[in-house]
Amino acid sequence: MAQFFNEPSRTFSEYLLVPGYTGPDCIPANVDLSTPLVKFRKGEEPELKLNIPMTSAIMQSVSGERLAVALAQEGGISFIFGSQTAENEAAMVARVKATKAGFVPSDSNVRPDQTLADIVFLKEKTGHSTVAVTEDGTAAGKLLGIVTSRDYRVSRMDPATPVSTFMTPVDKLICAKEGVSLAEANDILWDNKLNQLPVLAEDGRLLYFVFRKDYDAHKSNPMELLDSKKRYIVGAGINTRDYETRVPLLVEAGVDVLCIDSSEGYTAWQQRTLDWIHQNYPGMRVGAGNVVDAEGFRFLAKAGADFIKVGIGGGSICITRETKGIGRGQATAVIEVAQARNEFFKETGEYIPICSDGGIVYDYHMALALAMGADFLMLGRYFSRFDESPTDKLLVNGTYVKEYWGEGSNRARNWQRYDLGGDKKLTFEEGVDSYVPYAGPLSDGVRQSLAKVRSTMCNVGALTIKELQDKAKLTLVSATSIVEGGAHDVILKSSVNK
């Protein structure tokens, strides 16, 4: 006879937090959002910690190198997507590790024979007004000049005008040499009233730009997540098929932590992958998942996972529940797995952090997921909306949007994520291709969301995530009281003015 769970599985919007006592020191400025990323023994410190409880989803439309740097600057970590060749993924990891705070690899590049139309297209796509003109049109090519918005007037010039005729050539530019420090680069920017400073290798190849507008940002990233050599911390997704070739390349590239990316983690393949990594790379930390109950958690805990991801079918682009009838409401899954994590800790003295993956819609869901026992969160839709995600920004029906697609969609075709040992192909879709509203720079969005989380924590009377978990009082809400929670029985001015 099948096993039945007595209660329906529930999701975040069905819960609220009831305030606890807030003491005079319990103010947002005193809240510490640091949290363990990997397992540790009782009384010891985890080898890797996050400064904020946020990780970005292992997805093509989310976790590229630019987002990885932006998130590490805020104190979280990206897991670079694994649904690309191992070589490309390792190259992305290497570029994140090579990025020095304040030194930005150029993301808008053209060849000199390209045209004004190409410049306008790039500016629309990236939102950046500085374009590097390199011999081969790559970010690391020999620098021939730069184009900024001061160099052209779209209304007066033919879109076919070659870039070489209106760029500012390199001999008229002030550049710095490889090895310049950030402080020196900033002095050059200020002394010469420049907006950007190209940093060049001995042979004239472009290495980075240092931007004047970033000056304040470098000073104001107190939460940056850096390794012992002051490089950004970055993770990478792997699968249960090609780990023997992929993991060595990622390790070589300097990856800090791995995560097996799978829609369902309670499998023999995850065990095999973990075993192989532990045997061949004993120091390498690797997370596993996803699971939605205590049984799945215990399996991966015993298999040696360093953290365990929770969530099946709750992702915004996910149709696994509709397609296969597999999954569980995200809140119930987190609550049950968190209890299992606590029991396992009591029994063994080993604390294995859990990650609530998918289904975060409102910022308050973040606080709820943490209160329910998650140590950190994985977010896809949330990060895909920002400037730094790897996808295009488009104007659709008068609104700026970014593209966001699931790993199980035809667009990503990440069959390894859904692999159950069958043919090496995606037989049916478990994800969709979509637009999400564009939301500006990551740092603004993350800081705003976390301001709300800090505020919620103070209402609960908690200054740390652990305290939030210990003190939280959660109540289920009825359908009618959800209506009460929004603006109601008033005529909203925004609707009158439409």
Smallest distance, Å, CB 308 to ligand MZP?
13
Phi-psi region of 204 (alpha: psi -120 to 50; beta: other; left: phi over 0): left
Among the listed residues 26, 259, 318, 458, the single catalytic one is 318
Smallest distance, Å, CB 12 to ligand MZP?
11
Smallest distance, Å, CB 89 to ligand MZP?
16
C-beta closer to ligand MZP: residue 208 or 266: 266
| CA 148 to chain centroid | 29
C-beta closer to ligand MZP: residue 141 or 359: 359
C-beta closer to ligand MZP: residue 53 or 358: 358
Contacting residues for 127 by C-beta, under 8 A, at least 6 apart: 387, 393
Smallest distance, Å, CB 327 to ligand MZP?
9
In the sheet where 196-200 sits, what is the strand order?
Answer: 176-177, 196-200, 206-211
Of 331, 373, 368, the closest CA to residue 457 belongs to: 368
**Alpha-carbon dihedral of residues 474, 477, 483, 485, nearest 10 degrees?**
-20
C-beta closer to ligand MZP: residue 105 or 431: 431
Smallest distance, Å, CB 209 to ligand MZP?
31
DSSP-assigned states of every residue in 263-324: S---SHHHHHHHHHHHHH-TT--EEEEEE-SHHHHHHHHHTT-SSEEE-SS-STTB-HHHHH
Of 152, 107, 112, the closest CA to residue 125 belongs to: 107
Q: Is 231 a catalytic residue?
A: no
Q: Is 318 a catalytic residue?
A: yes
Residue with tokens 């990650």: 355
Task: Specify which residues 355 forms β-bridges with.
Answer: 309, 376
Give counts: helices (H), strands (E), the chain.
16, 24
Which residues lie near ligand MZP (CB under 6 A)? Answer: 57, 59, 315-318, 320, 357-360, 378-382, 406-409, 430-431
C-beta closer to ligand MZP: residue 291 or 379: 379
Among the listed residues 328, 341, 381, 417, the single catalytic one is 417
Catalytic sites, residue numbers: 318, 417
